[in-house]
């Protein structure tokens, strides 16, 4: 058992070494087209063969961003190597002619910065994008007018607003969409969500829409908030929140018509509107340049604390270091911390627990990082304090938080070194050390040879010889089953008695319910069906004469055949003519006839 465990540990170590040396990060930029015309759409993609972080896209202002950044990640494990890949893609539209260069994108991996190659896009003359937009807008306006030529703005409209129009990069703002209406809404449908290019977004759960009244433009409207979103700008500059598009069906009263009632009272008809909110421009200010070294993009107000599960531990026992970041700001976007641990400590990636909520006040709560540490040698070790910097929105300045250093006393562990305890994250990553290299045994060692071995024994060769015999028997049995199942008609003949018994059971229930007409139909189905299956007679040729002939061929006795024919005729008479028959006697006789045929059948 110890030998097997040693081999497993060696194998895991080799896999770990293979993973560590096979990581050759490549970060490249690709495009679906290098030559387009104005109005064409194309895709660019920045991909890396690793789990990169802190992705920064190049300036794409020469094109219209239709979608992106769209992030995707994948992991695979092949031949002992675990690989991962990350990609960010954009759908762009060419809006002006010329030759444009897309500069490199930047990202980080394990503290090292990487950048992609540049891309050159040649844009030729195509459609007039501005004119195309105007035509599309006119088409949408034409679609929104129905047979009554109603103006949507007079009856209902969507109003979009933001809590702030000028924010810092990484500072939150709230986008709100309200529906104003003076008519009854029958149905609604989302046509297109507002594009939020350049923002990280988080929807606020509004629950059931609540209606209120509000005076706007000199009129009283019924108002409901239909969507509210927390937005964090991811880059500086002028950003656009594109319109939200919805379709509504409302009820309107229309006077006039053919009837007197329509002319006097009016009538109600359904009218369809296509509504679109106004786009919103946001100015995202860049953060000041005097960024601290420990700044990683956090914006808001935060507090930082750290603790360990114990300050005194034995070698090869686990210690949990917990770091808690709490406050209000762009918590979901804050990456894991970069910590330095003593070389004698084995460390693992932290387990990150998110405990924050999204509301009209932004995102607030806490984010906890649970690090698993395993000291391998005795001694006194110090965990340096963590330094964390953020941009404070209230003071418009950078602030730095620090946690105190922590001292851990490590005592000498057991000789086996395998008593690793754990109460945190990534339990599957813990390796049991101390059994790959053992101390030299200086005492007298006695070796014993195992006298009985299964290998080369009688039972070893017996089981070895038995295997092909079992395989051959299984093959024969399988072929026999397939042959039986292939003979469908023969199979029905063998199961004819069981099928007839089911019909007779139904006849018994019909008799108990005093459904005499149904009773004789069940008896007739049982006997005719039994003869069809047993004698392999098609239903189209199922007559009493053919049944009698087939039964004689099968060596069934003539009295049995006569009783069967008589019972069939009795059932036909009882179904179509009022005769006095003892039903229970007919049922018993039918069961007896089937049993007699089964016993006498010799075909």
Handedness of CA 444, 449, 450, 452 (dihedral sign): negative
Q: How is residue 86 written in tokens? A: 């990350």
Q: Which CATH class is domain 300-429?
A: mainly beta
Buried b (16+ CB within 10 A) or exposed e, 533-568: bbbebeeeeeeeeebbebbeeeebeeebbebbbebb
Averaged over 558-586, what is the pLDDT? 78
Tell me the pLDDT of the chain averaged across its residues. 79
> For the segment 487-538, what is each residue's pLDDT rounded down to a tens digit?
555 666 677 777 888 888 888 888 888 888 788 888 888 888 888 888 888 8
Check residue 28 and give its pLDDT.
Answer: 93
Work out the pLDDT band at 150, boundaries 50, 70, 90.
very low
**CATH fold for domain 141-285:** Immunoglobulin-like (2.60.40)
Would you tell me how many other CB atoms lie within 10 Å of the CB of residue 169?
20
Q: Does domain 25-124 have CATH number 2.60.120.570?
A: yes
Check residue 428 and give its pLDDT.
Answer: 43
> For the segment 379-396, what is each residue's pLDDT rounded down to a tens digit?
999 888 889 999 999 999
Q: Is the pLDDT of residue 283 over 50?
A: yes
Q: Where in the chain is the domain with CATH 1.20.120?
A: 489-600
Q: 214-228, 307-321, 522-536: which has the highest mean pLDDT?
A: 307-321
Work out the pLDDT band at 416, boundaries 50, 70, 90.
very low
Averaged over 404-424, what is the pLDDT? 68
Averaged over 456-461, what is the pLDDT? 80
Q: Where in the chain is the domain with CATH 2.60.120.570?
A: 25-124
Check residue 392 and give its pLDDT.
Answer: 93
Residue 578 CA: distances (Å) to CA of 25, 507, 516, 522, 575: 94, 19, 11, 17, 8
Check residue 281 and give its pLDDT.
Answer: 93
User: Contact at 8 Å (CB) between 422 and 317?
Assistant: no
Least confident of 32-46, 241-255, 406-420: 406-420
Averaged over 354-365, what is the pLDDT? 87
Q: Is the pLDDT of residue 56 over 90?
A: no
SS3 361: coil
Q: Is the pLDDT of residue 447 over 80?
A: no
| Distance in Å from the first CA to the final CA of the chain | 65
Check residue 556 and give its pLDDT.
Answer: 86
Q: Does domain 489-600 have CATH number 1.20.120?
A: yes
Q: Where in the chain is the domain with CATH 2.60.40?
A: 141-285
The CA-based dihedral angle spanning residues 553, 559, 565, 569, taken in that order and rounded to the nearest 10 degrees: 170
Q: Is the pLDDT of residue 19 over 70?
A: no
CA–CA gap between residue 562 and residue 187 (Å, rounded):
74
Check residue 453 and give its pLDDT.
Answer: 66
CA–CA gap between residue 202 and residue 363 (Å, rounded):
9
Give the pTM.
0.45
């Amino acid at each position: 058992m110890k030998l097997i465990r040693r081999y497993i540990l060696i194998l895991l170590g080799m896999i770990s070494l293979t993973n560590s040396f096979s990581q050759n990060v490549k970060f490249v930029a690709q495009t679906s087209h290098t030559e387009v015309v104005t109005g064409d759409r194309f895709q660019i993609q920045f991909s890396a063969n690793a789990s990169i972080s802190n992705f920064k896209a190049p300036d794409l202002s020469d094109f219209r961003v239709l979608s992106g950044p769209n992030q995707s990640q994948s992991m695979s494990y092949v031949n002992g190597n675990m690989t991962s890949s990350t990609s960010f893609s954009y759908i762009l539209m060419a809006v002006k002619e010329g030759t444009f260069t897309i500069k490199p994108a930047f990202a980080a991996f394990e503290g090292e910065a990487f950048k992609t190659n540049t891309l050159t896009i040649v844009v030729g003359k195509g459609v007039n994008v501005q004119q195309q937009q105007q035509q599309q807008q006119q088409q949408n306006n034409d679609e929104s007018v129905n047979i009554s030529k109603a103006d949507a703005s007079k009856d209902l409209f969507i109003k979009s607003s933001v809590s702030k129009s000028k924010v810092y990069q990484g500072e939150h703002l709230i986008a709100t969409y309200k529906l104003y209406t003076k008519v009854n809404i029958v149905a609604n449908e989302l046509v297109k969500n507002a594009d939020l290019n350049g923002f990280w977004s988080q929807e606020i759960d509004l629950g059931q829409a609540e209606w209120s009244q509000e005076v706007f433009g000199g009129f009283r409207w019924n108002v409901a908030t239909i969507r509210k979103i927390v937005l964090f700008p991811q880059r500086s500059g002028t950003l656009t929140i594109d319109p939200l598009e919805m379709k509504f069906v409302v009820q309107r009263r229309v006077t006039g018509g053919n009837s007197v009632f329509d002319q006097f009272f009016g009538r109600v008809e359904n009218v369809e509107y296509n509504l679109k909110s106004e786009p919103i421009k946001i100015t995202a200010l860049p953060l000041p340049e005097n960024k601290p070294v420990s700044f990683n993009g956090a914006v808001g107000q935060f507090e930082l604390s750290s603790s360990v599960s114990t300050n005194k531990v034995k070698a090869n026992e686990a210690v949990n270091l917990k770091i808690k970041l709490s406050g209000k700001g762009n918590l979901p976007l804050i990456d894991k911390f970069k910590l330095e641990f003593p070389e004698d400590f084995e460390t693992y990636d932290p387990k990150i627990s998110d405990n924050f909520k999204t509301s009209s006040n932004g995102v607030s709560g806490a984010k906890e990082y649970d690090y698993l540490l395993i000291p391998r040698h005795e001694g006194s070790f110090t965990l340096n304090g963590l330094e964390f910097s953020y941009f404070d929105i209230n003071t418009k300045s950078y602030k730095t938080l620090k946690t105190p250093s922590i001292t851990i006393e490590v005592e000498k562990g057991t000789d086996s070194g395998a008593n690793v305890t754990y109460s945190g994250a990534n339990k599957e990553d813990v390796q049991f050390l101390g059994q790959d290299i053992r101390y030299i045994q200086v005492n007298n060692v006695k070796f014993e040879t195992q006298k009985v071995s299964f290998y080369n024994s009688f039972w070893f060769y017996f089981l070895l010889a038995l295997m092909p015999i079992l395989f051959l028997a299984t093959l024969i049995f399988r072929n026999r089953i397939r042959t039986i199942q292939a003979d469908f008609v023969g199979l029905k003949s063998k199961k004819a008695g069981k099928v007839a018994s089911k019909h007779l059971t139904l006849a018994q229930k019909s008799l108990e319910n005093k459904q005499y007409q149904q009773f004789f139909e069940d008896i007739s189905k049982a006997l005719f069906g039994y003869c069809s299956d047993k004698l392999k007679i098609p239903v189209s040729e199922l007559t009493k004469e053919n049944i009698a002939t087939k039964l004689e061929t099968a060596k069934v006795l003539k009295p049995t055949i006569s009783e069967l024919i008589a019972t069939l005729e009795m059932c036909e008479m009882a179904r179509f003519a009022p005769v006095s028959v003892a039903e229970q006697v007919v049922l018993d006789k039918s069961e007896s006839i089937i049993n007699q045929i089964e016993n006498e059948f010799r075909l």
